[in-house]
Amino acid sequence: MYREKINVLDCTIRDGGLINDHYFTDEFVRAVYQALSKSGVDYMEFGYRSSRELYPPEDYGAWKYCDDDKIKKIIDGIESDIKISVMVDSYRVKEQHFAPADESPIDLIRAATYVKYIDSAIELINRCHDLGYETTCNIMAISREIEPDLVEALDQLAKTPVDVVYVVDSFGALYCEQIEYLVKLYQEHLPGKEIGIHCHNQQQLAYANTIEAIIHNANYLDGSLYGIGRGPGNCCLELLIGFLKNPKFNLTPILKVIQDYMIPMQQDIEWGYIIPYMVTGILNEHPRSAIAYRKTKDKGKFAEFYEQMREAQE
């Protein structure tokens, strides 16, 4: 499956930060940066660029904000060609100051949005493009969108300078046939744009669906170390690197940082395939209900949770 145009983006710190309010230590973030730099991965996403007025600093770690100076502190002294990404929820961010790209350690700004807020993403994309950044638009919860509304949003994005538009299976509800359909739909309405894929693992299909997107010429691929991410997590980066045949990739540093950091971390914070997340996936629901259920004394009563979710949909 070697294809020179493929770019791999690691979202360990950003997606993983949704589990622990972005309280990763500098040591861990630096270790991930070093490992990914040696692995040949193209981008590392450090976290969110969020507004402190909306998200009080006393409630979140540094990677909720991804200040340029904080990122510079992490990468200082490490020789690396890897590009740096941050994500912005375009629909819930107050005015952000971005330095021109040539004055910032950040290369790529990803605008996350829902179809109904596409105007906010377009405004952010235009502003960041003018400052010299690469840009993507990540349309979330795509499994819940109505196709005419989605197509209208894609047609609007086609007129912008956005570099990549992502198919995002936020609820882990999609199957390979739907991934194929959506990737081709995006290509039809976004001529000249690259297509990306970001899959969640409610039904243990994140890796398979990413491969399906690759087959149909999606060239921007998201993954995270050991699949870390909110709830069931994401496509495992180590599986993805093992699958791709580009000789630039090196799996060893990825496995080393997993064994040294990710395995011990899983003793303290939970992610990965668990039945309640599977339930939300097959029912095409946000995993928040399963996350809340896992915090109760009944967290192991899978059948009860399934019946509750089914009744809520009726």
What pLDDT shows up at residue 270? 94
Contact 6, 56 (CB under 8 A): no
As a whole number of angstroms, the distance between CA 14 and CA 47 comes to: 4
Q: With bands split at pLDDT 50, 70 and 90, how would you rate the model's confidence at 1?
A: low
Residue 187 shares a structural domain with residue 75: yes
Residue 185 shares a structural domain with residue 290: no
Does 270 reside within a domain? no
What pLDDT shows up at residue 96? 77
Residue 198 shares a structural domain with residue 138: yes
What pLDDT shows up at residue 188? 98
* Closest among 168, 157, 107, 97 to 132, alpha carbons compared: 107
Residue 229 shares a structural domain with residue 291: no
**Mean predicted lDDT score pLDDT of the chain:** 96
What pLDDT shows up at residue 39? 98
Contact 52, 95 (CB under 8 A): no
| Chain mean position to CA 226 | 14
Judged against a pLDDT cut of 70, whether residue 139 lies above it is answered with yes
Q: With bands split at pLDDT 50, 70 and 90, how would you rate the model's confidence at 4?
A: confident
Residue 164 shares a structural domain with residue 282: no
Q: What are phi and psi of 46, to 5 degrees?
A: -85, -25
pLDDT, mean of residues 222-231: 97
Residue 74 shares a structural domain with residue 40: yes
* Closest among 131, 188, 132, 198 to 157, alpha carbons compared: 188
Residue 157 shares a structural domain with residue 304: no
Does 168 reside within a domain? yes
Residue 153 shares a structural domain with residue 60: yes
Distant-in-sequence, close-in-space partners of 76: CB < 8 Å, separation ≥ 6: none
| Chain mean position to CA 99 | 23
CATH of the domain at 215: 3.20.20.70
Q: Concatenate the DSSP letters of all residues of 222-276 into one string.
A: EEBGGG-SSTT-B-BHHHHHHH---TT--SHHHHHHIIIIIHHHTTTS--S--HH
Contact 50, 42 (CB under 8 A): no
Contact 299, 293 (CB under 8 A): yes
pLDDT, mean of residues 16-40: 98
Return the structure tokens found at 276. 């309640």
Residue 256 shares a structural domain with residue 287: no
Q: What are phi and psi of 29, to 5 degrees?
A: -60, -40
Residue 164 shares a structural domain with residue 228: yes
* Domains: count for the chain: 2
Q: What is the pLDDT of residues 289-300, one digit of tens each?
A: 999 999 999 999
Distant-in-sequence, close-in-space partners of 241: CB < 8 Å, separation ≥ 6: 8, 39, 41, 223, 249, 251, 254
Residue 64 shares a structural domain with residue 102: yes
Judged against a pLDDT cut of 60, whether residue 142 lies above it is answered with yes
Judged against a pLDDT cut of 80, whether residue 95 lies above it is answered with no
Residues of the domain holding 248: 7-265
Report the percentage of the chain scoring pLDDT > 70.
Answer: 99
* Closest among 267, 176, 253 to 10, alpha carbons compared: 253
Give me the count of residues in the chain.
314
Does 2 reside within a domain? no
Burial class (CB in 10 A: 0-12, 13-18, 19+), 154: buried
Q: What is the pLDDT of residues 153-183, one digit of tens each?
A: 999 999 999 999 999 999 999 999 999 999 9
